[in-house]
Structure formats: C-alpha cells, structure tokens
Structure 1
C-alpha cells in the first residue's frame, strides 16, 4: 500500500472510532437516494439500477455482472484515497460480515473504485486487504467505470485540491442486489448498525 494511502487509511480508521459514536455530515460524498433526482429504482415507473459491466479483480481476473448472479450482492463505489466515507463504510461492512457468520458466504461483497486513474487491481487488492476478506476490490478503465456507474446510477466527480491533486465526490450508499441482479435497496451511510444487519439478513433470506 502506498505511503499516502496508509496515512489516509489510518486516519480513516481512526475516524471510524469517532464515527461509531455518532455519524455527522458526509465528507466528500453524496448520499444515494433511489427514486430521486440523479438516481433510479427498479419497479414500475422507475428506471432500473444495475446492468452489464466488465471489471477486474485484485488478482487480475476479469469479471462481469454474470459472475455475481446466483447470490445477492452488496456493492459499494468509492476510491482508495477516500479520507473517511470509504474506510468507514468498509470497516462497518466488515463488522456486519463478522456478525453474519457463515451466512456471509451467501452474499457477494464488492468495492468498485471510481478512481480509474490511480486505482488498479494491485492497489485495490492492497487496500481491501485491510478489511474483511469477503470484500473484493474491483477496478476498471475509464470506459469500464463509466459503464458500471451509469448502470448503477452512481454519482462521482473529481474535485481539484491544492497541489494539482484531486479528491472524488461520490455516492455513499451500498447497493443491495438480489440473486438475479435486481436492485432491492441500500445501506445508507450513517444508518443504524442493527438496521443494516437486518437488511442483509432479509437479503439473504430472499435469495
């Protein structure tokens, strides 16, 4: 893992301890609100969330949406240089996976980087190694990330920062898909832990 990422991740995990006391406003992110402007929901009267994509796992293997069928999926979009939202979300997901125990094997957990310029397979593999091993990191080219973010109605935008670098403003929700690839809901950033756990249990129960 790169030195700057280590610092960001360490800082992010420290922020998690504070965050667990009480979530505050989002930092460099936007909350997904299915059914509202900029997002969509499945069902009559709304466009669908999800669709065809091709991405690359940390081990270099290409995967498509069909590789996730047969089991429900929890999929989150972010980037490895994310200062707070991404490490907090992945840390919480790791805790939820632990609470699910053997039932966690019935769910796909994926973290897709929208930072196609800096996050390749090796970077994603290194970053996700700090969290539960069920969470697989997925990267892609600019075109591939554009395809998957359009399919999932994910918002992301590069924001310039001092020194010529950039951060990324992005959707902060975890998308929940059923075993057939249909959108069924989200885990919202800052949502109560017990509520998120119950949603995952229902997702498994409906598989």
Structure 2
C-alpha cells in the first residue's frame, strides 16, 4: 500500500500487479524481512540527487545514505501528519539505537518554497538532533519525489503563505549506497518498525 496524507484524511492507494524483483543489496537476501510488496519491486524506488542539507551543505544521495536510513517526505508547516510520522520514525530509530543499531532518520521536504535549511533544522531538531532535513530547488525536489514515486501537490493557488501540501506518507528504508529495500505505512508502530528494520540491519551482518 502507498498512502497519501492530508490534514483531514489519509487516502490509501493499492499498488496493483505482481511483485517482480527482489532488492539485491550487495548480495544480501532480504526476502525473509520484507513484508511490503509493490508493482515493479523495490528496485523501482530511489534516485541519485544533489540537495541542500539543513546545515546549508550540498550533498549527494551517497553522502546522505551512509547508514540504514528511514526516509520520509513531508513539510514543516504540516499541521498533524508530518509531526506524528517524524516522531514515530525518531522513536523507532531510538529503539534500534538501544539495541546497538545505528539507523538515521531523513526528511526531504515537499515544500521547498517555505522549507529553507534553517526552517528544516528547527523542525527536525524537535524530534532528534540526528534527523537530517533536505531541501532544494523546485526542480530538484520534483525529481527526487519522482524517484521515490512520491505524489505531492501544494494547494497554494489562493494563498501562497499558509497553504497545505497533499503528499504521500510512506517511510522508506534506504540502505547504504542509496538502495531502497522496504517501505512502511503510517499506521506501523515504532515498535513494529524497529523490529522490521532490525531484521534488515541484521541481514546485512
């Protein structure tokens, strides 16, 4: 399932079709860990990118995904969904840290007009000092969202200051080397997310 979140509701889209390919990350077999299946397989998610980190530095995908990462697409002026999802992801990473696993959280904005690096930094620090926020130009953000098959739309036609942004609410598990191996819907608890991510991390050895 791929989920779109808005202020009032979450719309569920079922990705039809047959699971085609399993993700091959350095020869590691993740089949026993994977629950989410989508048309085309997880190989169809992800892309190279150059974005601006919340410290103002330009970074590539390889520079960001140096460790297992929980990747989320959201925005800082989101009134409810994004804060809850970001808190859940941070809680899962904290649980994994208690188990000796180094997993980071990353948020790429779907609202580059308002989400400057400074704004992103203030937002991500609310949840974890280790959470990475990424922004860029309209074109860069559109390209990276397309790479993860993430739908978003800014409702700024009548108000260009206090608008809302419709967007999907999946969190993706991205392994070092920018390899996406799993996704999580927003109804997954921190405990279940930590358990499933831990399976992937342990499989890497």
- Shorter-chain TM-score: what band? 0.7 to 0.9
| Aligned: 1:193 with 2:190 | yes
| Aligned: 1:52 with 2:48 | yes
| Aligned match for 2:181, one of 173, 180, 184 | 184
Question: Which residue pairs with 1:136 in the alignment?
Answer: 132
Q: Is the 1:68–1:108 Cα contact (8 Å) retained in structure 2?
A: no
Matches of 1:153 and 1:67, distance apart in 2: 21
Matches of 2:185 and 2:49, distance apart in 1: 23
Matches of 1:142 and 1:41, distance apart in 2: 32
Q: Is the 2:97–2:103 Cα contact (8 Å) retained in structure 1?
A: no
| Aligned match for 2:145, one of 138, 145, 149 | 149
Question: Which residue pairs with 2:36 in the alignment?
Answer: none
Q: Is the 2:89–2:190 Cα contact (8 Å) retained in structure 1?
A: no
| Aligned match for 2:78, one of 77, 82, 93 | 82
Matches of 1:65 and 1:184, distance apart in 2: 15
| Aligned match for 2:168, one of 164, 167, 171 | 171
Q: Is the 1:75–1:110 Cα contact (8 Å) retained in structure 2?
A: yes
Q: What secondary structure does 1:166 align onto? A: coil
Question: Which residue pairs with 1:20 in the alignment?
Answer: none
Structure 1 residues 24-103: aligned runs within 5 Å: 26-28=5-7, 35-36=15-16, 43=22, 46=40, 48-101=44-97
Name whichever structure is richer in helix by fraction.
1
The verdict on how the C-alpha distance between 1:107 and 1:97 changes in structure 2, with shifts beyond 3 A counting, is closer
Judge which range, 105-114 or 40-49, deviates more: 40-49
Residue deviations 1:78-132 (CA, integer Å, cap 9, x gap): 0000011110011112222222225576223211111011111011011111111
Matches of 1:175 and 1:34, distance apart in 2: 16
Q: Is the 1:161–1:167 Cα contact (8 Å) retained in structure 2?
A: no
TM-score, normalised to structure 2, is: 0.76
Supply the RMSD in Å over aligned alpha carbons.
2.9
TM-score, normalised to structure 1, is: 0.75
Number of residue pairs matched by the alignment: 181
